[in-house]
Amino acid sequence: MMRYRIKTIGRFGSLVLLAALLLGCAGTRKNDPAVALRSQRVQSTLSDIADGLNAYHQERGYFPKGLATLRETGLVSIMPDVEREWTIKYYVDGDKVMMIEAVSRTAMPDGEGYSVVYRVPNSEWEGYGITEFPK
């Protein structure tokens, strides 16, 4: 009788463990290397843009009107896949770059509407692959 109880408990324990694993994995793709890579590429681009904007401002005393102007000066280069998959905007206040944001387009493998936000003064990051993960 004792063996039967142990086997029943063992099977039940296995079932509980399996259910916990499935529920833990079913919610998001938090540990998906593809998500991490895409997020890192966008973060690197946004960081480069912040550096380019600051350099442009130091040289000229004002910020460029858009990313195209910044690109033409050679201060920043955006990889074609990042440009195809993300819309990038920046926000300045006076002589400071405040925020740079990338919002995914339909060409991005996880779809449109995801964002990566870089708050430059605090060096804070949030969004896709950082604080939010696709399902």
Residue 60 inside a domain? The answer is: yes
Average pLDDT, the chain: 86
Q: Which residue has the higher pLDDT, 10 or 101?
A: 101
Q: Based on the domain organization, do 14 and 51 belong to the same domain?
A: no
pLDDT tens-digit map of 42-98: 999 999 999 999 999 999 999 999 999 999 999 999 999 999 999 999 999 999 999
Side chain identity, residue 60? R
Side chain identity, residue 49? I
Residue 1 inside a domain? The answer is: yes
Nearest partner of 106 among 91, 125, 123, 87, judged by Cα: 87
Tally of CB atoms within 10 A around 135: 7
Question: Distance between CA 20 and CA 89 in Å, rounded?
Answer: 41
Q: Based on the domain organization, do 43 and 88 belong to the same domain?
A: yes
Global pTM exceeds 0.75: yes
pLDDT exceeds 60 at position 40: yes
Q: Based on the domain organization, do 2 and 48 belong to the same domain?
A: no
Q: Based on the domain organization, do 19 and 68 belong to the same domain?
A: no
pLDDT exceeds 50 at position 15: no
CB distance 89 to 45 below 8 Å: no
Per-residue pLDDT, averaged over 15-42, amounts to 69
Q: Based on the domain organization, do 49 and 105 belong to the same domain?
A: yes
The pLDDT-based confidence of 113 (bands split at 50, 70, 90) is: very high
Q: Based on the domain organization, do 89 and 43 belong to the same domain?
A: yes
Tokens of 60: 């000229």
Strand partners, 88: 102
Domain range enclosing 16: 1-28
How many domains does the chain contain in total? Answer: 2
Residue 99 inside a domain? The answer is: yes
pLDDT exceeds 50 at position 7: no
Residue 133 inside a domain? The answer is: no
